[in-house]
Homo-oligomer: A and B are copies of this chain.
Amino acid sequence: MTKTEPIVQRLALIGTGLIGGSIARAARASGAARTIVATARSPETRKRIKELGFADQVTETNSEAVKDADLVIVSIPVGASGAVAKDIGPHLKQGAILSDVGSVKGSVVRDMGPYVPKGVHFIPAHPVAGTENSGPDAGFAELFVNRWCILTPVEGTDPAATEKLSAFWSALGANVETMTADHHDLVLAVTSHLPHLIAYTIVGTADELGDVTQSEVLKFSAGGFRDFTRIAASDPTMWRDVFLHNKEAVLEMLGTFNEDLSKLTRAIRRGDGDALFDHFSRTRAIRRGIVQIGQDSPAPDFGRPHPTLPDAPVPKPYASDDS
């Protein structure tokens, strides 16, 4: 991908945490936006954004930031979407695109939709990408490369506006797919919300045991547990809002998960090794599929760094024939 012509003249970012801050950096690195305006209420955050240098302007109020912007992206916990839409609605430019990055889309449509003025294109979006870190320092320009961004335009949306938003995300390195908000919420309940809930649960479980100390849990976490702690270190406010706003889909998926867990539990209790082996062989294939389509690293252990044995010689190839 080479540096693109600006797709957006003036990009306004409300929320400059991991996602908003990464959009700013990626938009600048790719040239997808000519001017980037960021907004932050607290003087500390405004100062930090200026130091990090990922915006051309930093404003104190949302209304000032969105004025004259042709693309406004709201990157905040979904529970605050409605209030922000109410705040900025009257200040949006005719013909502007209003979008977001929330992990739930049905509630965003319901909460923001009523405040979107006629003549403004409202296209909810969700880039499926992230790390366990949060805040303006956490973002980086490469976050969206080869990840998927899902657009959920409501019925009657101008196709040209959807095309423009799609081109913007493509310039940031993302693959773009379009679906309904309801289907998005069901898909993400499986691929993101349920995994987070399970990880949050098991990490909490390990923290509260009588017979095993926390120090033991930490020391011996390389047996598998540590993988879950990364996800369970995600932003608490963001995730509280996800579960409150995608309740039905999450509870539905939880039901299926619980049935499956009961099945495996029964196999363990009964000593049914064949059932366990069959299940464990099937899940192995799913990992291969994810690596094959480039959605995870083929390197063992996610490519985690392994310290070396200092001064260790390179193993010599087998030479003799004395076996």
Q: Are B143 and A200 in contact (CB under 8 A)?
A: no
Most chain B CB atoms below 10 A, which of A2, A308, A323: A323
Closest to A246 in B: B268
- Give residues 291-323 of A contacting B (CB, 8 Å): 293, 295-297, 299-313, 315-320, 322-323
Residues of B within 8 A of A204 (CB): 260, 279, 282-283
A30 → chain B closest CB, angstroms: 6
Across the interface, A142 reaches (CB within 8 A) one of B188, B279, B309, namely B309
Q: Are B224 and A191 in contact (CB under 8 A)?
A: yes
- Whether A202 sits at the interface, judged by CB under 8 Å, is yes
Q: Are B132 and A53 in contact (CB under 8 A)?
A: no
Q: Are A227 and B231 in contact (CB under 8 A)?
A: yes
Closest to A247 in B: B268
CA distance A182 to B214 in the complex (A): 18
Contacts known (A203-B286, A205-B260, A232-B286); A195 close to B223, Cβ less than 8 A = yes
A222 → chain B closest CB, angstroms: 5
Q: Are B207 and A286 in contact (CB under 8 A)?
A: yes
Across the interface, A225 reaches (CB within 8 A) one of B51, B195, B223, B233, namely B195
- Whether A136 sits at the interface, judged by CB under 8 Å, is no
CA distance A17 to B26 in the complex (A): 43
- Whether A3 sits at the interface, judged by CB under 8 Å, is yes
Across the interface, A214 reaches (CB within 8 A) one of B195, B289, B312, namely B289
Chain A residues with a Cβ closer than 8 Å to the other chain, count: 151
Across the interface, A276 reaches (CB within 8 A) one of B244, B260, B273, B295, namely B244
CA distance A243 to B296 in the complex (A): 28
CA distance A146 to B265 in the complex (A): 33
Contacts known (A280-B240, A296-B221, A303-B303); A229 close to B55, Cβ less than 8 A = no
Q: Are A243 and B323 in contact (CB under 8 A)?
A: no
Residues of B within 8 A of A301 (CB): 131-132, 230, 302
CA distance A261 to B49 in the complex (A): 39
Copies in the complex: 2
Across the interface, A220 reaches (CB within 8 A) one of B150, B218, B222, namely B150
Q: Could you tell me the dominant secondary structure of chain A's interface residues?
A: helix
Q: Are A318 and B50 in contact (CB under 8 A)?
A: yes
Q: Are A198 and B200 in contact (CB under 8 A)?
A: no
- Give residues 98-157 of A contacting B (CB, 8 Å): 103, 128-133, 138, 140-143, 145-148, 150
A149 → chain B closest CB, angstroms: 10
Of the stretches A6-14, A67-75, A81-89, A249-257, the one at the interface is: A249-257
Residues of B within 8 A of A219 (CB): 148, 177, 293, 295
CA distance A117 to B282 in the complex (A): 41
Residues of B within 8 A of A320 (CB): 56
Most chain B CB atoms below 10 A, which of A140, A141, A319: A141
CA distance A33 to B141 in the complex (A): 48
Residues of B within 8 A of A206 (CB): 190-191, 286
